Amino acid sequence: MSLPVVLSLIGTRPEAIKLAPVLRALEARPGRFRSFVALTGQHRELVEPFVRLFAIRPDHDLEVGRNGQTPADVARRVLESLGPLLERMRPDLLLVQGDTTSALAGALAGFYQGVPVGHVEAGLRSGDPLSPFPEEMNRRLISRLAAFHFAATEGNRRTLLAEGVDEARIAVTGNPVVDALHSIAERLEPSPEIARVVEEAAPARLLVLTTHRRESFGATMEQNLRALRDFAERHDDAVLVFPVHPNPRVQEAAQRVLGSRPLVRLLPPLGYLDFIYLLSRTRLIVSDSGGVQEEAPTLRKPLLILRENTERPEAVAAGVARLVGAGAGRLRDSLEEAWADGSWADHVSEIENPFGDGRSGERIAEVLPCMLAQVRR
Ligand code: UDP
């Protein structure tokens, strides 16, 4: 029988980061798989540096990218372009990652073409179908469409079982973001710009912020940015560093509330090495991102999560992160509490990472043949 063909779909930057270790593990087994990569081409300027950093070699470009697309636009364009590619290639497996609209549309395209879908980072749930929007519904629907589920944690596996997923189709592998971070740990050389940001801040300590999720837009983001600005102004031992997402709504709020403040550094979106270097040098992280909730425990850094709920309760349960919610009053109190000497944040460096040991890509590649045998004709 010919070698199984695996096609991996990459849309956004977290998909590139988290599928890179899986691709490396597949490529390390040339006698067992033929591995191909399709890029959707969304957010090209954000994603391509990650593709280069992790030496991902794309075989197909779906050219979905256009600025200002709605989730419906992305879904339609992925379906239109991936469907014919699947029809031509007939892969044995389509791998999608996470909770993006591109991953959902990819899973649906696979389903329509009769191609089994493998879901990396399966079984995350916030509990609220509308938040984060549309990611929570995307991941629920991907679980219904997928044939194989690669769960990061035992808790994710239990969630899938409770929803009726066959246990033979689930493997607990850890999250490949941990592998990705380990793979760059020795290469953490910052660019001159970021080295300067860190040097100029000393002896003050860094407070790194990322925020770009739809639920945060408008009044919530405004209040959060004001609370952070006021905190930096009250504490002369704190410098707020904010790599600002290119979304115009984030750019506008960041400039208006934080622009030209001496204790605030507004930066463009950073390359992964620079961003991880910055996190590794920070006292405290404040973020609404999903990936940062896994990176903080891997780097053993304390995190305040700017959300009402999280689909990654493991970081909170382990004691690395605290859920702040959307209210500015709670953010103000949480910042003060975490920043104080001797606070919970000082103990995070001793906590074991709940998201895995850095061998997730290897585990996925190891269990795949057995899983594929369940469906291969
Ligand atoms: N990230 C980065 N540079 C930045 C901000 C974020 O490299 O300036 C990385 C971050 O480490 C994380 C990923 O981008 O792994 C997060 O992507 P995003 O916040 O877009 O998505 P989410 O994690 O919320 O799904």
Q: What is the pLDDT of residues 8-54, one digit of tens each?
A: 999 999 999 999 999 999 999 999 999 999 999 988 888 999 999 99
- Quick check: is 90 catalytic? no
Q: What is the CATH number of the domain that holds 65?
A: 3.40.50.2000
Ligand 1 pocket residues where CB is under 6 Å = 13-14, 17, 210, 243, 269-270, 272, 275, 289-292, 295
Domain match, 45 and 170 both: yes
Q: Do the domain assignments include residue 139? A: yes
- For 352-362, what is each residue's pLDDT tens digit? 999 999 999 99
- Quick check: is 189 catalytic? no
The answer to whether the predicted template modeling score (pTM) of the entire model surpasses 0.85 is yes
Report how many domains make up the chain: 2
Half-sphere exposure of 104 (CA within 13 A, CB side): 18
- Quick check: is 333 catalytic? no
What is the three-state SS of 212-252? Answer: CCHHHCCHHHHHHHHHHHHHHHHCCCEEEEEECCCCHHHHH
Ligand 1 atom, smallest distance to 212 CA? 19
Ligand 1 mutation target, pool 289, 307, 309, most atoms within 8 A of CB = 289
- Predicted pLDDT of residue 325: 85
Domain match, 340 and 291 both: yes
d(CA 282, CA 163): 39
Domain match, 153 and 268 both: no
- Predicted pLDDT of residue 23: 98
d(CA 258, CA 240): 10
- Output the CA 341–ligand 1 centroid distance in Å: 28
Q: Do the domain assignments include residue 116? A: yes
- Quick check: is 214 catalytic? yes
Average pLDDT, the chain: 94
Ligand 1 atom, smallest distance to 269 CA? 8
Q: Which two tokens stand for residue 290?
A: 């999903």
Mean pLDDT across 92-105: 97
Are the C-beta atoms of 62 and 81 separated by less than 8 Å? yes
Q: Do the domain assignments include residue 182? A: no
Residues 6+ apart with CB under 8 A from 374: 168, 169
- Output the CA 326–ligand 1 centroid distance in Å: 20
- Predicted pLDDT of residue 277: 96
Residues 6+ apart with CB under 8 A from 2: none
Mean pLDDT across 141-156: 98
Q: Which of 119, 212, 213, 322 is catalytic?
A: 212
Quickly state the pLDDT bin for 95 (edges 50, 70, 90).
very high
Q: Do the domain assignments include residue 222? A: yes
- Quick check: is 245 catalytic? yes
Q: Is the pLDDT of residue 377 over 70?
A: no
- Predicted pLDDT of residue 317: 97
Q: Do the domain assignments include residue 267? A: yes
Q: Do the domain assignments include residue 180? A: no
Q: Is the pLDDT of residue 191 over 90?
A: yes
Q: Do the domain assignments include residue 136? A: yes
Enclosing domain of residue 68: 5-175+357-376
Q: Do the domain assignments include residue 183? A: no
Q: What percent of the chain has pLDDT over 70?
A: 98
Domain match, 170 and 289 both: no
- Predicted pLDDT of residue 194: 97
- For 220-233, what is each residue's pLDDT tens digit? 899 999 999 999 99
Domain match, 36 and 147 both: yes
User: How far from 344 is each of 247, 302, 335, 341, CA to CA, in Å?
Assistant: 33, 8, 12, 9
